[in-house]
Amino acid sequence: MPPSPSTQSLFLALADHTRRQLIETLANEGEKSATELAAIFPITRQGISKHLRILLDANLVQVRQQGRDKLYHLQPEQLREATAWINNIQSQWDRRLQTLSTYLDKTNKE
């Protein structure tokens, strides 16, 4: 399997607690600017902006220009990439258990 840059940037984006909180906030409250978010969170606007950049790179948020400020909103479709990876792991695991159990059945019978 190729290293899949989108999977990498996605899981990397989800790895930080502040970014997950940003995602939760945007999921609940819709569009917000970096300055608005900075008022809610205990870090500076520039810190928020850095996180938003990472979320943008992971295609987890989109941005819209509104006059002089930029409004960020969630784009949750990309989260399916994470669940797809997890589901893939789980199916591989299940398949392996299945193979193992049929092997044990076979050797028990012989």
Partner DNA sequence: TCAATGTGCAACCAAAAAGTTGCACAAAGC
Partner DNA sequence: GCTTTGTGCAACTTTTTGGTTGCACATTGA
- β pairing state of 32-33 and 69-74: antiparallel
From 56, 63, 71, 82, residue interacting with a second copy (rule: CB under 8 A): 82
The distance of Cα 35 from the centroid of its chain, to the nearest Å, equals 23
- In the bound state with DNA, the residue whose beta carbon lies nearer, of 35 and 92, is 35
The DSSP H or E segment spanning 63 is strand 61-66
What does the alpha-carbon distance between residue 28 and residue 32 come to, in Å, rounded to a whole number? 11
- # binding residues, a second copy (CB under 8 A): 29
Q: Where are the beta strands (DSSP E) in 67-110?
A: 69-74
17 binds a second copy, rule: CB under 8 A = yes
By CB under 8 A, name the one of 65, 83, 107, 108 that touches a second copy.
83
- Considering only 22, 54, 55, 74, the residue that binds a second copy (CB under 8 A) is 74
- Residue 45 interaction partner, one of DNA, a second copy, none, beta carbon < 5-8 Å per kind: DNA
Give CA separation, 17 vs 21, 22, 24, 51, 106, in Å: 6, 9, 11, 11, 48
Which residue ranges make up the site for a second copy (CB under 8 A)? 1, 3, 7-8, 11-12, 14-15, 17, 20, 23-24, 27-30, 74, 76, 79, 82-83, 85-86, 89-90, 92-93, 96, 100
